[in-house]
Amino acid sequence: MAVPFSAALSDALLGLRDRILASPGFQRFAADFPFTRAVAQQRARALFDITAGFVYSQVLYACVELDLFQTLAAGPLNLDDLAARMQMPRAAADRLLRAAVALHLLQRRGLERSGVPRFGLGRHGAALLGNPGIAAMVRHHRMLYQDLTDPLALLRGELAQTELGRYWAYAGNAQPARSQDAAVSEYSALMSVSNAFVAGDVLDAWSLRRYRCLMDVGGGEGNFLIAAADRWPHLRLRLFDLPAVAARANLRFRKLGLAERAETFGGDLHETILPTGADLISLVRVIHDHDDADARTILRAVHAALPAGGTLLLAEPMAETPGAEPVGDAYFGMYLLAMGSGRPRPPRELKAMLREAGFERIRLVRTRRPMQTRLLVARATGT
Ligand SMILES: C[S@@+](CC[C@H](N)C(=O)[O-])C[C@H]1O[C@@H](n2cnc3c(N)ncnc32)[C@H](O)[C@@H]1O
């Protein structure tokens, strides 16, 4: 196939680079030579980390399952105490703890007078305690790993049913609105625990002062609205989700004394005309769950529900996020494949879809942790 000259030149240069990098002689040289040694070691380590990633995440999984971070939050413990609590032989406990120390999940805290080593939280373990959503994600990764056991079968569409497909009742489901509470409760609870940081980052990035009514579409159990209500007491609230999920949100609003301010609507986003009346609509971690045709339908429905000049907040992790490419492109790419629908999209693709749906003045607004969520803000044109 004919390629442009610039591409042919670039291929030739990159081919040369690849041959050099693949050469064992060059690798030995780069690892010895003082000016390249540090970079060579860094790259070898990075490649090893990719190779061993599964083992690392299983060490994390074991720590989470054993509630090690919670246990050590109260202070360091010695190896014998930890082995007893973890119900495993001392040597096995030592092996797991060493692995966790190497991954900065735990930290060695010297020896007791008796010579028994002590362990406390490491920097990652401590950070993990501050975001319970991470532990919940780690636990439910069991299903993702199951689905990824044979990644080629998954990629080729040879798996009749995936664990994550079962878990996310709406993914690839022709009639998701029929899902009962039992089918949505687990994922809704997971979304609730992982929503806090996302909601905080979005609400810190965009002020809701000038809006009257916020409708959160695909709003789950209502966490985003609850956080918004807390900051902006003047705001009226609406939530749209599958009927069984909207019912859960309704219950929460009542429990929190928000029933006066909050209305819930149940339906299927792919089919329903969304209620009008809100001047601000949010889609938080929703669009990436849907294949292109459905995502377009949702954006059009959101546009139709907004008045001219109304605002849309579209917040989710996105592909091609500088510094977080593996999160969007590798993690969410494979995760959503296993789930059975959707894909992470780069901001430029989402912007194009938004324009197509009738939005204008589409801007990427800076968020605190783009790895976790990015934010597109768009204005609805008149229909
Ligand atoms: C990944 S969760 C995000 C929940 C919440 N926005 C958050 O960030 O915590 C996606 C939400 O979209 C809802 N959803 C998915 N497909 C839907 C559909 N066809 N109709 C209505 N809601 C749907 C799910 O029930 C779920 O609550």
Taking phi over 0 as left and psi of -120 to 50 as alpha, with beta for the rest, 371 belongs to: alpha
User: What's the confidence (pLDDT) of residue 200?
Assistant: 96
Q: What pTM was computed for the model?
A: 0.92
Distance 284 CA to ligand 1 centre (A): 8
pLDDT band at 226 (very low <50, low <70, confident <90, very high): very high
Q: Which residues does ligand 1 sit against, CB inside 6 Å?
A: 170, 176, 191, 195, 198, 218-220, 223-224, 241-242, 245, 268-270, 284-286, 289
Measured from the Cβ of residue 11, the count of other Cβ atoms closer than 10 Å reads 11
Which residue's CA lies nearest to atom 15 of ligand 1? 170
CATH of domain 133-380: 3.40.50.150
| Torsions phi, psi for 36 (to 5 deg) | -110, -10
What is the pLDDT at residue 215? 98
| Atom 4, ligand 1: residue with shortest CA distance | 220
Q: How far apart are CA 317 and CA 332, in angstroms?
A: 8
Question: pLDDT tens digits for 208-222?
Answer: 999 999 999 999 999
**Topology of domain 44-130, per CATH?**
Arc Repressor Mutant, subunit A (1.10.10)
- Amino acid residing at 194: S
> Residue 216: what residue type?
D
Q: What is the pLDDT of residue 196?
A: 86
Written in H, E and C, the secondary structure of 153-168 is: HHHCCCCCCCHHHHHC
Share of the chain above pLDDT 70, in %: 99
Distances (CA, A) of 230 to 75, 90, 284: 34, 48, 18
Residue found by looking up tokens 């990159």 in the block: 14
Average pLDDT over residues 182-205: 93
- As a residue count, the chain comes to 383
- pLDDT, one tens digit per residue, over 358-373 is 999 999 999 999 999 9
* pLDDT tens column, 102-112: 999 999 999 99
160, two tokens: 């009749």
pLDDT tens-digit profile of 244-303?
999 999 999 999 999 999 999 999 999 878 999 999 999 999 999 999 999 999 999 999
Question: Domain extents for the chain?
Answer: 44-130, 133-380
Q: How confident is the model at residue 51 (pLDDT cuts 50, 70, 90)?
A: very high
Does residue 178 carry a pLDDT above 70? Answer: yes
At residue 1, does pLDDT exceed 90? Answer: no
Looking at the chain, the whole-number percentage of residues with pLDDT higher than 90 is: 94
pLDDT band at residue 174 using 50, 70 and 90 as cut-offs: confident
Q: How far is the CA of 253 from the centre of ligand 1 (A)?
A: 17
Within 10 A of 53 (CB to CB), how many other CB atoms are there? 12
The pLDDT score that the predictor gives to residue 383 is: 60
